């Protein structure tokens, strides 16, 4: 079976983990955490970063920093993973679901003004597959209403929008280092803060609500409980694994882009399917490759036939507004999000996928869809 994805391994992961073990500094916020922070700030022009245990944890930090509470409303794309909504739900916020665009699954900015109320506090945008949302339009709308923008950039490390790195445009950015991502620590994440007013409090929340950093820096003789917080940062073993990956990030993304382009140049000419639109001013990171079939029936046929030929393929998100948790008697209709859920198919893409495997996948897709 050709897998849908598989993690890149540099060879230095074990070396760095052994260094951590020998140092006896296992708990986190040490040498490798600092190396990751420095790299991410320098490579992507992020002003303030904090490694976290997951992208969910990064978004949870945002919900604390913004004092999300019952009565607040948070706009979230319906076509996204549950992580985009859960941290805000846990603080009591009402989730307001937004529709997708017709040419890619990202949030439709034109929908936003219709969704605002006096209780709207946050807009969460998710860059699907590392393809940028229309951030200029989104930021202009949000700023005109004094609403915070959170970029769920779980797919998007290294991708850009008009020469700005995703995650650096909104007030906050959240990334994932889950095993399915371009670089991984098995399970991990990153919070990027682009608004200076939150830096100091973020440090305290990240340190379980204490002023431990001030203590370690010699500014106070003891550390105390200053604020709410959790144990957000990963262990040094996780950070060491991630450091081995980050050192290869540019190469990983470049190789994935070659494979993505190889698919695109052939599959774009097949009339029975559609591919995502990528604007000239956006540079994605080839996080995944997907195509759009005419309907759910055709989607299921394509997935089943590919699997019968030893090719792992799958659809992706189910719309959040139709989930058992969110569904009510007054279910809303979000046409494009529902259409993407019914028609999108993901096919194998990873760092060292072989050209001959791609050729086999392409040939099978052509064969399956030719009579649609």
Number of domains in the chain: 2
Cβ contacts of residue 247 below 8 Å, gap of 6+? Answer: 10, 12, 39
Residue 88 pLDDT grade (very low, low, confident, very high; cuts 50, 70, 90): very high
What CATH code is carried by the domain that includes residue 296?
3.90.1150.10
Is residue 4 domain-resident?
A: no
Is residue 7 domain-resident?
A: no
Tell me the pLDDT of the chain averaged across its residues: 96
Residues 286 and 358 in one domain: yes
Residue 329 pLDDT grade (very low, low, confident, very high; cuts 50, 70, 90): low
Among residues 225, 246, 267, the one where a domain terminates is 246
Is residue 117 domain-resident?
A: yes
Residues 333 and 266 in one domain: yes
What CATH code is carried by the domain that includes residue 113?
3.40.640.10
Is residue 5 domain-resident?
A: no
276-298 pLDDT tens trace: 989 999 999 999 999 999 999 99
Residues 216 and 278 in one domain: no
- 101-105, 216-220, 257-261: lowest mean pLDDT where? 216-220
Residues 97 and 192 in one domain: yes
49-64 pLDDT tens trace: 999 999 999 999 999 9
Residues 234 and 283 in one domain: no
Among residues 246, 281, 302, the one where a domain terminates is 246
The predicted structure's pLDDT at residue 9: 97
Residue 211 pLDDT grade (very low, low, confident, very high; cuts 50, 70, 90): confident
Residues 298 and 332 in one domain: yes
Residues 45 and 67 in one domain: yes
Is residue 56 domain-resident?
A: yes
Residue 254 and residue 125: Cα distance in Å, rounded? Answer: 25
Average pLDDT estimate for 258-273: 97
**Tokens in use for 124?**
């969460």
Residues 279 and 224 in one domain: no
Residues 197 and 286 in one domain: no
Average pLDDT estimate for 34-56: 97
Spacing of C-alpha 89 from chain mean position: 18
Is residue 112 domain-resident?
A: yes
Residue 13 pLDDT grade (very low, low, confident, very high; cuts 50, 70, 90): very high
Tokens 């649609």 -> residue: 372
The pTM of this model reads 0.96
Residue 88 and residue 68: Cα distance in Å, rounded? Answer: 7
Residue 158 and residue 38: Cα distance in Å, rounded? Answer: 15
Residue 330 pLDDT grade (very low, low, confident, very high; cuts 50, 70, 90): low
Residues 118 and 234 in one domain: yes
Phi-psi region of 110 (alpha: psi -120 to 50; beta: other; left: phi over 0): alpha
Known catalytic residues?
Answer: 181
Which residues span the domain enclosing 279?
250-369
170 burial type by CB count under 10 A (0-12 exposed, 13-18 middle, 19+ buried): buried
Is residue 3 domain-resident?
A: no
Q: In Å, what is the CA distance from 290 to each residue of 82, 155, 221, 276, 297?
A: 20, 14, 55, 7, 17
Average pLDDT estimate for 154-174: 98
Average pLDDT estimate for 63-76: 98
């Amino acid at each position: 079976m050709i897998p849908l994805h598989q993690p890149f391994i540099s060879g230095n992961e074990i070396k760095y983990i052994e260094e951590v073990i020998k140092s006896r500094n296992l708990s986190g916020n040490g040498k490798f955490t600092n190396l990751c922070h420095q790299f991410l700030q320098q490579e992507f022009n992020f002003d303030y970063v904090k490694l976290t245990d997951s992208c969910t944890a990064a978004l949870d930090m945002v919900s604390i920093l913004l004092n999300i509470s019952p009565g607040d409303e948070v706009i979230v794309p319906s076509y996204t993973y549950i992580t985009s909504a859960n941290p805000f739900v846990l603080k009591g916020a009402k989730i307001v679901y937004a529709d997708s665009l017709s040419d890619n699954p990202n949030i439709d900015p034109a929908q936003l003004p219709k969704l605002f109320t006096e209780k709207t506090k946050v807009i969460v945008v998710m860059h699907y597959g590392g393809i940028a949302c229309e951030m200029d339009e989104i930021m202009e709308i949000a700023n005109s209403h004094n609403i915070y923008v959170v970029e769920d950039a779980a797919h998007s490390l290294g991708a850009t929008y008009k020469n700005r790195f995703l995650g650096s445009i909104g007030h906050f950015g959240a990334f994932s280092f889950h095993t399915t991502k371009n670089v991984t620590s098995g399970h991990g994440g990153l919070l990027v803060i682009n608004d200076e007013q939150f830096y100091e409090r973020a440090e305290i929340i990240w340190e379980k609500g204490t002023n431990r950093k001030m203590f370690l820096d010699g500014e106070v003789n003891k550390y105390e409980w200053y604020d709410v917080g959790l144990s957000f940062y990963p262990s040094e073993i996780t950070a060491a694994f991630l450091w081995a990956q980050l050192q290869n990030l540019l190469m990983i993304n470049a190789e994935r882009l070659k494979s993505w382009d190889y698919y695109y140049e052939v599959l774009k000419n097949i009339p029975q399917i559609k591919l995502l639109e990528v604007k000239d001013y956006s540079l994605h990171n080839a996080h995944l490759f997907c195509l759009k079939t005419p309907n759910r029936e055709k989607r299921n046929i394509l997935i089943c036939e590919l699997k019968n030929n030893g090719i792992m393929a799958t659809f992706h998100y189910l719309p959040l507004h139709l989930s058992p948790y969110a569904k009510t008697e007054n279910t809303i209709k979000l046409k494009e999000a529902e259409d993407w859920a019914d028609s999108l198919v993901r096919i194998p893409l990873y760092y060292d996928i072989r050209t001959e495997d791609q050729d086999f996948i392409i040939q099978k897709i052509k064969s399956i869809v030719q009579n649609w």
